[in-house]
Amino acid sequence: MEELANLFHGFAVALQPYNIMLMIIGITLGVIIGVLPGLGGANGVAILLPLTFSMPPTSAIIMLSCIYWGALFGGAITSILFNIPGEPWSVATTFDGYPMAQQGRPGEALTAAFTSSFVGALFAVIMITLVAPLVAGFALRFGPAEKFAVYFLAFCSFVGLSKEPPFKTIAAMMMGFALAAVGLDSITGQLRLTFGITELLNGFDFLIAVIGLFGIGEILLTMEEGLAFRGGNATINLRVVLQTWRELPAYWMTSLRSCLIGCWMGVTPAGATPASFMSYGIAKRLSRRGNNFGKGEIEGVIAPETAAHAAGTAALLPMLSLGVPGSPTAAVLLGGLLIWGLQPGPMLFVEQKEFVWGLIASMYLGNLAGLIVVLTCVPIFAAILRVPFGIIAPLILVLCAIGAYSVHNSTFDVMLMLVFGVLGYLLKKCNYPLAPLVLAIVLGDKAEEAFRQSLLGSQGSLGVFFSNGLVSTIMALGLVALFWSAIQEGYSRLRTSMA
């Protein structure tokens, strides 16, 4: 009950007019940052961090975390409208969100995405409020072996997802792994596959690959198909929000499952990206309409968005209680905390009550404010699709170029983006799935790092992945996910032979 009293005190802090103003400014800036691919929440927060040094810490963190919420919301907009994910965790949203927009249902997709985001975040905040001290300790049990197991599960729940032949899926995934291996090898400290080219020191940044593969690739495809967006006849009024809301409760099971996956991934802290992929993969497996996934199924938008937001929110818990950021943006916020003289860690909840509960209260209010802001804008966003392709395509190209440039301030990256665009177009034409490729670029090096760290610790023994209950369970789940279709087939065969 003490937590509730603290929370209400937190609401009082967050509801001061000055803080509400900062909240709305933060959300608006965040949405803009989220819409621009490449800019991203981490960059946005980092740029604005110094401006907040003159504010009281509680107000500053409220504003910055609202930028974070805004960016989470905003990331879905370009994914759905233009097939350009602004953030790594929005990639899974494009799979069904973009087809929906093309079918003239952008309003529906956006509403579903925003509402699911809100539900996921709300679920995670409630969890933080009620069980923060219990859950915080869970992250400590995650060593390299456990982390690898989580990545393994993410890959496994995704393999066999696409309708393309397994060979093509594996080929695409291996290409992703190869691209992820370029740059500095963090275990040996040596450069790999850079061939002495200094531009490749950084490796292939995920965002540049995605902006090219998805954004530029899509424009090339559209050009071939006759220079028109297919979502032009979108209905644009606020009624679509209410209509979509009427549909959403039917998918409560997907939402709940995605919330749990998201919270778990956020706390562990594996992050929002594996959460969104895993949630999408599992929803596809378990949904009755799983075969329709990828063709504009609303459930395919709900699952990744809910999980991504639940994870993004839950990621703040290990940051506050342990000082380990669960996401890049959380890492920048962490730096901010230190600059304001707040030391994240086990003592923060005890010594800085006002700050912690003010932040938690702002999570409730910030998300609510964010939902209202973005929902009222749904018709405006949807109307963008009515702009003729000849006008919007150059604008998207410019947006993509700015995004790619801003990742590392490098014109080389803009060239790289164009190369990836052509590659994306060719892969699509040959029916190679892009999703496994992207998944491998995002998680490939992390999975490799965790794998090698585990083996260093165990002196080369693979037994480390089955050395305790936690890691064995996750690995077993991964194997089940990998062979799910075989298991399902065996089961149905067994039933027919019994009958």
Binding site for another protein (CB under 8 A): 38-40, 42-43, 46-51, 53-54, 139-144, 183-191, 194, 198, 201-203, 322-325, 328, 331-332, 334-335, 338-339, 341, 343-348, 402, 405-409, 449, 453, 456-457, 459
Task: Measure CA 426 to chain center.
Answer: 26
Do 426 and 217 touch, CB atoms closer than 8 A?
Answer: no
Q: Is the Cβ of residue 360 or residue 450 nearer to another protein in the bound state? A: 450
Q: Is the Cβ of residue 188 or residue 496 nearer to another protein in the bound state? A: 188
CA-closest candidate to residue 432, choices 117, 175, 85:
175
Per the DSSP assignment, residues forming a β-bridge with 184 are 191
Q: Is the Cβ of residue 56 or residue 346 nearer to another protein in the bound state? A: 346
Alpha-carbon distance of 272 to 326, in angstroms, equals 8
At 131, which helix (H) or strand (E)?
helix 106-136
Q: Is the Cβ of residue 15 or residue 49 nearer to another protein in the bound state? A: 49
Q: Is the Cβ of residue 146 or residue 297 nearer to another protein in the bound state? A: 146
Q: Is the Cβ of residue 104 or residue 143 nearer to another protein in the bound state? A: 143
Query: 296: helix, coil or strand?
Result: coil
Biggest CA-to-CA distance, the chain = 74
Strand intervals (E) in 103-261: 183-185, 190-192
Q: What angle do CA 9, 10, 13 make, to 5 degrees?
A: 95
Residue 103 CB, shortest distance to another protein, in Å, is 34
Residue 136 CB, shortest distance to another protein, in Å, is 11
Residue 317 CB, shortest distance to another protein, in Å, is 13
Residue 40 CB, shortest distance to another protein, in Å, is 8
CA-closest candidate to residue 88, choices 267, 281, 329, 372:
329
Alpha-carbon distance of 73 to 147, in angstroms, equals 27
Instruction: Name the token pair of 297.
Output: 């199924």
Instruction: Name the token pair of 169.
Output: 């899926």
Do 378 and 107 touch, CB atoms closer than 8 A?
Answer: yes
DSSP category for residue 270: -
Phi and psi for 446 in degrees, rounded to 5? -65, -45
Strand intervals (E) in 137-203: 183-185, 190-192
Q: Is the Cβ of residue 43 or residue 276 nearer to another protein in the bound state? A: 43
CA-closest candidate to residue 274, choices 299, 306, 303, 308:
308
Residue 186 CB, shortest distance to another protein, in Å, is 6
Residue 447 CB, shortest distance to another protein, in Å, is 14
Residue 114 CB, shortest distance to another protein, in Å, is 25
At 45, which helix (H) or strand (E)?
helix 40-48
Q: Tokens 């014109």 appear where?
A: 411
Contacts of 253 (CB under 8 A, 6+ apart): none
Residue 490 CB, shortest distance to another protein, in Å, is 38
Q: Is the Cβ of residue 139 or residue 435 nearer to another protein in the bound state? A: 139
Q: Is the Cβ of residue 199 or residue 247 nearer to another protein in the bound state? A: 199
DSSP category for residue 251: G
Task: Measure CA 399 to chain center.
Answer: 20
Q: How many Cβ atoms from other residues are within 10 Å of residue 462's Cβ?
A: 11
Residue 61 CB, shortest distance to another protein, in Å, is 15
Q: Is the Cβ of residue 141 or residue 295 nearer to another protein in the bound state? A: 141
Contacts of 105 (CB under 8 A, 6+ apart): 231, 234, 296
Q: Is the Cβ of residue 17 or residue 341 nearer to another protein in the bound state? A: 341
Do 404 and 212 touch, CB atoms closer than 8 A?
Answer: yes
Q: Is the Cβ of residue 100 or residue 211 nearer to another protein in the bound state? A: 211
Residue 377 CB, shortest distance to another protein, in Å, is 21
